[in-house]
Amino acid sequence: MNRGIKGEDIFTGNKNKNQFLNYLEEKSKKMKIPIFAYCIMNNHYHIVLQNTNCKMSEFMRQLDGEYGKCYRKHNGGKGYVFQDRYKSTLIQEDSYLRISIAYLLLNPVRAGIVKQIDEYIWSSIRDYYNREESEIVDTTFVEELFGSKNELFQFVYSQYGEEIPEIKTRYGNILGSPDFLKEALKKYDRRKGNVGIYGKRIDDKYFEPVEKVIWEFERMKSINIDDIPVDTYEGKRLRGELLVHLKDRSGLSYSEIIKFDIFDDLKYTSLSPIYRNTKKRLKGMRKEKPMQKAP
């Protein structure tokens, strides 16, 4: 999920909500990430998805980034549209997935916007058990998960007033059984010689802080990475520095980094020399910095 900066309404009209759904459909198809449920409120959204190919960070970056550009273009203003990087929860399958979908669909009811979940047109509730196939949601999976339409509605309303039983860990939020939590934490445990800058295992496929690294890089350089002119000398220098950040701070492999759009014109074998040369240049720049005199 993510919300507007300072809690501001960023999905105020039908046009804005429709545009966000268009991006959601486009990105999910492009990156082959299944969407099981969504709900767009005026100042935030929720999505339940499956990170099938470990591209969730890139998916969310593109989704938020392109909607943010579109919003500023048509609504004016400056700066970032979303409050921060998105927040995510690792969800166990079956019963816990049912809970998460129910919680999402109840958003407009809890907010007092509607009395019944199917009265709200900006969630995925109307996609289920429909003769027409949804362009966004994997309705077959959800319908099999709940059974009949009546069972879905009964379960959703049984969760009204219930808090979602998320467990906060040092690696992120987890929704699942004690055994699932234990296995997840074991997977992300620290190991000597294989720990990233945030204390997470380098091979961790969940909760990688890629979006945070990109978010900070864009602010530090005052540029969106999609706008870096890689056909210029300065653009190539910036791209090299981004490569260093992604590898050193996020622990990404070259095979993961090459999937980002900004690197798609490069050969896989060229990433290693670019990384080494950029590291050497940045190290040299630090050495050249004059020492400040003591007051």
Say whether both 105 and 235 belong to one domain. no
Up-side HSE of residue 203: CA atoms within 13 Å toward CB? 9
Say whether both 13 and 133 belong to one domain. yes
Say whether both 111 and 256 belong to one domain. no
Residue 264 DSSP one-character state: T
Residue 93 included in any domain: yes
Report the b/e string of 235-267 with b at 16+ CB within 10 A. Answer: eeebbbbbbbbbbebbbbebebbbebebbeebe
Say whether both 257 and 117 belong to one domain. no
Say whether both 213 and 152 belong to one domain. no
Residue 98 included in any domain: yes
**What pTM, to 2 d.p., does this model score?**
0.66
Say whether both 159 and 56 belong to one domain. yes
pLDDT, tens digit (0-9, with 9 covering 90-100), for 190-199: 433 344 433 3
Count of structural domains within the chain: 2
CA distance 123 to 156: 14
Q: How confident is the model at residue 157 (pLDDT cuts 50, 70, 90)?
A: very high
Residue 176 included in any domain: no
- 147 versus 93: the higher-pLDDT residue is 147
Phi, psi dihedrals of residue 232, rounded to the nearest 5°? -115, 160
Residue 190 included in any domain: no
Of 165, 180, 199, the last residue of a domain is: 165
Say whether both 213 and 122 belong to one domain. no
Containing structural domain, residue 273: 209-285
Of 165, 196, 229, the last residue of a domain is: 165
Residue 83 included in any domain: yes
The CATH number for 156's domain is: 3.30.70.1290
Say whether both 140 and 217 belong to one domain. no
Q: What is the pLDDT of residue 67?
A: 93
Q: How confident is the model at residue 47 (pLDDT cuts 50, 70, 90)?
A: very high
Residue 172 included in any domain: no
Residue 260 included in any domain: yes
Residue 253 included in any domain: yes
Structure tokens given for 261: 């759009």
Say whether both 148 and 15 belong to one domain. yes
pLDDT, tens digit (0-9, with 9 covering 90-100), for 201-221: 333 444 345 777 888 888 899
